[in-house]
């Protein structure tokens, strides 16, 4: 358990540091071109997700995301107490990652974002982004376990671009990004609606996945 919690904290640290740090770097170097900055941010996030899941998946399951932990608890893959400890580790490690990004780029350690992210379109984007992420995880874990790391990494890279919210898809990272007044930030007041949309998307994907991936994996392999 201790190793699993440390793995969740370390993974969240590097994931959140990458999201915020690459956003700061991208905004600095892109010369005001938001599309280029978003592309750099997306590629860096997808790349670190692949590495972290491949490295830590065997230790903790590589959740790094309370929405993933919730779904695993609903499916009884982990106990409720373990889920609570996972979320605490994710938040603690992730916030430290955001602060580390600030230190690396000589920014104030403690800050709050002023970047508004609100409205029906953004909330729908978070619902869709989280639904797709959870479905990707459930499907690959069930039928293609070797593809969990690349599947999640590629999905998030794509979701940065096809969702209006740029795919936070993670309640812990929504909280942590509110503590950074940078390219990746979100105002603290906008976090609760994002989290609600993310949790709604996660539960909907869990319900869908129970039906969609109910068949045996060997039955599916013959059709692909």
CA dihedral 193, 194, 197, 201 (to 10 degrees): -170
Question: Quick check: pTM over 0.85?
Answer: yes
Return d(Cα 180, Cα 172) in angstroms, integer: 13
Q: So what's the pLDDT on residue 30?
A: 94
Whether the predicted pLDDT of 161 surpasses 90: yes
Contact 15, 48 (CB under 8 A): yes
Pairwise CA distance, residues 19 & 58, whole Å: 23
As a CATH number, domain 2-215 is 1.20.1080.10
Q: Which residues contact 101 (CB under 8 A, 6 or more apart)?
A: 16, 17, 20, 21, 24, 107, 180, 182
Cα–Cα distance between 148 and 57 in angstroms, integer? 9
Mean pLDDT over all residues of the chain? 94
Q: What is the pLDDT of residue 101?
A: 98
Mean pLDDT across the stretch 85-99?
97
Q: Radius of gyration of the chain from Cα atoms?
A: 17
Average pLDDT over residues 90-118: 97
Nearest to 187 by CA among 116, 104, 95: 116
Summarised one tens digit per residue, pLDDT across range 139-158 is 999 999 999 999 999 999 99
Tokens of 206: 């869990």
């Amino acid at each position: 358990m201790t190793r699993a919690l440390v793995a969740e904290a370390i993974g969240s640290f590097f994931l959140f540091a990458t999201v915020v740090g690459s956003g700061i770097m991208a905004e600095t170097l892109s010369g005001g071109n938001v599309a280029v900055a978003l592309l750099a941010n997306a590629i860096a996030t997808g790349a670190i997700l692949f590495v972290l899941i491949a490295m830590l998946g065997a230790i903790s399951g590589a959740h790094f995301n309370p929405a993933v932990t919730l779904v695993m608890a609903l499916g009884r893959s982990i106990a409720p107490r373990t889920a609570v400890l996972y979320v605490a580790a994710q938040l603690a490690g992730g916030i430290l990652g955001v602060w580390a990004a600030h230190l690396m780029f000589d920014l104030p350690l403690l800050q709050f974002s002023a970047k508004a992210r609100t409205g029906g379109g953004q909330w729908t984007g978070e619902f869709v982004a989280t639904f797709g992420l959870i479905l990707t995880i459930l499907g690959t874990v069930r039928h293609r376990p070797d593809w969990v790391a690349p599947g999640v990494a590629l999905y998030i890279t794509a979701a940065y671009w096809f969702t209006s919210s740029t795919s936070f898809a993670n309640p812990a990272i929504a909280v942590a990004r509110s503590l950074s007044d940078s390219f990746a930030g979100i105002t603290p007041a906008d976090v609760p609606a994002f989290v609600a949309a993310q949790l709604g998307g996660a539960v909907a994907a869990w319900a869908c996945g129970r039906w969609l991936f109910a068949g045996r994996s060997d039955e599916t392999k013959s059709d692909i």
